[in-house]
A = this chain, B = another copy of it.
């Protein structure tokens, strides 16, 4: 494994050549202070790629972004929170208008703008809020503005998600940075809530897309909060080549290093998304080991971490191994439950609660102690092969119900 370092307070503005910013445009009339429009800008043209939700119902922002990325290049991202611009008659027109507003303010081509929206579905986007604030937004761009952009894309998120890493390619220092939002309606299926990644690596748009797919598959695609795949999932990456490495144009050693680094970054963000799932009190990891195939390992990990009963049991620190075994059983994966062992693990220790598919006696006191921590790993040993997978999620809490009982107000 090569040397990958996380940068303190890293963000999308950590890689060379990128600026970002965010302002409050009051897209929700009740919001008069929180930033809700973000802009990311690169001083030079970038190779770019993106992946999107597989939901049939999609924001028009995705249609426009897909069209703008057809040539594999981009130079800016404009994003709003507070309204998903989805299932609206004028959605396409407004998504295009957002690109045009950004392009005019930045003096770039509107086809070089990536656009995204997040928030309430089915209510018209008040585009005038963005029009009125586009100059302020452009003026807010700065080399340490990634954190403002991260704030501007938040909806029910309670913490900003941003990170950056550095590593070496061809003896050159390369940096990759990211911001993300996502808290509810999260059951990621290629792409995610919203996440924007920047890098100064030199890499072709084709290789960028391929690297993104590889990294997403074991990071964002392994997160579930509530089993609902969003209509607006967008994960976009821009690479400006300023690091000066030899441009990656094939799946060589440098490509592999880039994928590994991107995966580390995406996993780090994916875990934070899960930990900040709507109403979450606890961050959960389900680690499946010894599965027959990677597909089986992933399927089981996602099924267990997505079970409402497992999530509620973790909320209550109830070491109910039946919930885990039940979810393994209905996962639809190829598994011999009679070989399965289940452990709970946290800072307080590790406890075996199921052996060879059977419930066993264990110390309820220790189990309670382990499950009372706020980061819990459910380890499933299948003893049936070599494949492994990790999925990320959170507990099901009163707060999730409260938030989603009254989401629109």
- Chain B residues with Cβ below 8 Å from A55 are 326, 329-330
Within 8 A of B (CB), among A332-360: 335, 337, 353-354, 357-359
A89–B124 Cα gap in the complex (Å)?
Answer: 59
Quick check: A57 and B231 within 8 Å, CB to CB? Answer: no
A189–B329 Cα gap in the complex (Å)?
Answer: 12
Quick check: B318 and A227 within 8 Å, CB to CB? Answer: no
Over the window 365-406 of chain A, the binary record of Cβ atoms lying under 8 Å from chain B Cβ atoms (1 yes, 0 no) is: 000000000000000000000000000000011101111111
Quick check: B226 and A84 within 8 Å, CB to CB? Answer: no
A121 within 8 A of B: yes
Q: Which of A109-117, A285-293, A306-314 contacts B (4 or more CB under 8 A)?
A: A306-314
- Chain B residues with Cβ below 8 Å from A328 are 56-57
- Chain B residues with Cβ below 8 Å from A56 are 328-330, 335, 337
The 8 Å CB contact of A231, one of B89, B329, B335, B408, is: B329
A136 within 8 A of B: no
- Chain B residues with Cβ below 8 Å from A228 are 307-309, 323, 326-327, 330
A84–B325 Cα gap in the complex (Å)?
Answer: 13
A contact residues, range: 35 or more
A70–B175 Cα gap in the complex (Å)?
Answer: 66
Quick check: B329 and A407 within 8 Å, CB to CB? Answer: no
The 8 Å CB contact of A120, one of B322, B335, B353, is: B322
A140 within 8 A of B: no
The 8 Å CB contact of A359, one of B88, B226, B313, B398, is: B88
Quick check: A227 and B308 within 8 Å, CB to CB? Answer: yes
- Chain B residues with Cβ below 8 Å from A401 are 312, 315, 396-398, 400-401
- Chain B residues with Cβ below 8 Å from A322 are 84, 86-87, 120-122, 231
With most chain B CB atoms within 10 A of its CB, the pick from A55, A121, A322, A398 is: A322
A316–B403 Cα gap in the complex (Å)?
Answer: 9
A223 within 8 A of B: no
Task: Report A72 CB to chain B, min CB distance, Å.
Answer: 27
A272 within 8 A of B: no
A75 within 8 A of B: no
Within 8 A of B (CB), among A197-249: 226-231
Within 8 A of B (CB), among A141-166: none
Cβ-closest chain B residue relative to A340: B57
Cβ-closest chain B residue relative to A231: B326
Task: Report A80 CB to chain B, min CB distance, Å.
Answer: 16
Cβ-closest chain B residue relative to A306: B227
Quick check: B57 and A88 within 8 Å, CB to CB? Answer: no
Quick check: A404 and B316 within 8 Å, CB to CB? Answer: yes
- Chain B residues with Cβ below 8 Å from A318 are 405-409
Within 8 A of B (CB), among A226-280: 226-231
| Nearest 7 A/B pairs, CB to CB | A122-B359, A121-B322, A316-B405, A57-B329, A312-B404, A55-B329, A229-B330
27 A-B interface contacts by CB (under 8 A): A55-B326, A57-B330, A57-B357, A58-B329, A86-B325, A87-B358, A121-B320, A122-B320, A122-B322, A122-B359, A187-B330, A226-B309, A227-B227, A227-B307, A228-B308, A228-B326, A228-B330, A231-B326, A308-B400, A309-B404, A312-B403, A312-B405, A316-B407, A320-B407, A397-B401, A398-B401, A400-B401
